[in-house]
Chains A and B, each alone.
Chain A
Amino acid sequence: MRPDAVRGHLDGLILAVLEAGPRHGYAIIEALQLRSDGALDLPTGTVYPALRRLERAALLAGAWSTVGGRERRTYTLTRAGKHALAQQRTEWTEFSAVVDAVLRPA
């Protein structure tokens, strides 16, 4: 999948993988690759600024904590983040239904 195609949806994808519980940056990248069966082929360096953007918007809460004996920055979905994720899912369902209807062979 082209990185450009993913970029506009990266925020929603990150919110979705954090729905199951808090994760640190690399664990989020692994979860994105795992849930997409490796199809999400964007530079991993794009994930870290996206996490800070979501944190700035109070959709994620980030904090340094010790994981596996190392200091890592862990992110948790906030209530506003859960709301944004639900909204993103609704928008995506509506959008994909419209595109699917138009693209489907007549």
Chain B
Amino acid sequence: MTDLLDTHVSELARRLRGPGRVRRSMLTETRDGLSDAAAAYRDGGLPAEEAAARAVSDFGPAAELAPLYQEELTARQGRRTALVLAVVFPAVVLGWDLLWKGGIGWRSPSVPVLASLVHLQDAVSWSVGALGLAMLALSFHRRVPPRHLAVTAGVVGAAGAMLAGGAAALMIFGFGPGNSDLVVTDPVAPVAYGCSAAAVVVILWSVTRTARVVARGDRVARERA
């Protein structure tokens, strides 16, 4: 009996991709529900095997239900990515602002291009942060399609990381003379660069994960059709 229920949950599980904790929680709840349904049939006088078969039949085919489960996982992944955008982009800008105000900066005179890049990076970061916040709020609305939200969060995150990260790379390697001196002479500088690099990695990881979750949603929808 247990085998039949477990097999059905496994059939569903192998089709799903998304945030681990939510996915595990949904599958555990499903397994519990199937056990309850089988127990109710047993209490009604059915043999264990038949009770389990009826519970599985009432539940519905895994291929039919996977898109509904996956939609929720996509929604949670989209919300998570929106949160990352809302927090990480502004945090990096604020962190660097604090460092500049604390006296850390390039020793050589600033060039106009450098100032433009700083403005571009600030504008991109605050815009992405605001969009992340807006998408986070939208993720609480049932009628906003989870796939659209997740795709938008992924695209905005990828574009933001490329623009802000690209501007940072240009500032460091193209227009930041004396940068290597800064790393050597100021112990805070390597930590700041490390944190910024880690922020880019977190954003790109989140974007990649979102893309994979959305792709899985498309796949289970195709398999159902």
Give A residues with C-beta under 8 Å from B: 11, 24-26, 29-30, 43-50, 52-54, 56-59, 64, 70-73
Chain B CB count within 10 A is highest, among A24, A43, A45, A46, for: A45
Cβ B65 vs Cβ A43 within 8 A: yes
**Contact A48 to B29, CB < 8 A, known contacts A26-B36, A43-B58, A56-B72:** yes
Q: For residues 180 through 225 of chain B, which have their beta carbon under 8 Å from a beta carbon of chain A? A: none
User: Of A11, A45, A50, which one neighbours B30 at CB under 8 angstroms?
Assistant: A45
Residue of A nearest to B32 (CB): A72
| B69 contacts the other chain (CB 8 A) | yes
User: Of B22, B29, B37, B60, which one neighbours A46 at CB under 8 angstroms?
Assistant: B60
Q: Write the nearest CB–CB distance from B136 to chain A, whole angstroms.
A: 12
Cβ A56 vs Cβ B75 within 8 A: yes
Q: Write the nearest CB–CB distance from B23 to chain A, whole angstroms.
A: 11
| B25 contacts the other chain (CB 8 A) | yes
**Contact A54 to B142, CB < 8 A, known contacts A25-B33, A48-B33, A73-B25:** yes
User: Which A residues are in CB contact (< 8 Å) with B26?
Assistant: 48-49, 52
| B76 contacts the other chain (CB 8 A) | yes
Return 20 A-B CB contacts under 8 Å, by A number.
Answer: A11-B142, A24-B32, A26-B33, A26-B40, A44-B33, A44-B37, A44-B58, A46-B60, A47-B33, A48-B26, A48-B29, A48-B69, A49-B68, A53-B71, A56-B139, A56-B142, A57-B142, A58-B140, A71-B32, A73-B32
Cβ A48 vs Cβ B30 within 8 A: yes
**Contact A43 to B75, CB < 8 A, known contacts A49-B69, A53-B142:** no
Cβ B72 vs Cβ A52 within 8 A: yes
Cβ B32 vs Cβ A70 within 8 A: yes
| B64 contacts the other chain (CB 8 A) | yes
Residue of A nearest to B22 (CB): A52
User: Which B residues are in CB contact (< 8 Å) with A53?
Assistant: 71-72, 75, 142
User: Which A residues are in CB contact (< 8 Å) with B64?
Assistant: 43, 45
Q: For residues 1 through 38 of chain B, which have their beta carbon under 8 Å from a beta carbon of chain A? A: 22, 25-26, 28-30, 32-33, 36-37
Residue of A nearest to B76 (CB): A56
User: Of B37, B40, B58, B65, which one neighbours A49 at CB under 8 angstroms?
Assistant: B65
Q: For residues 26 through 76 of chain B, which have their beta carbon under 8 Å from a beta carbon of chain A? A: 26, 28-30, 32-33, 36-37, 40, 58-60, 64-65, 68-69, 71-72, 75-76
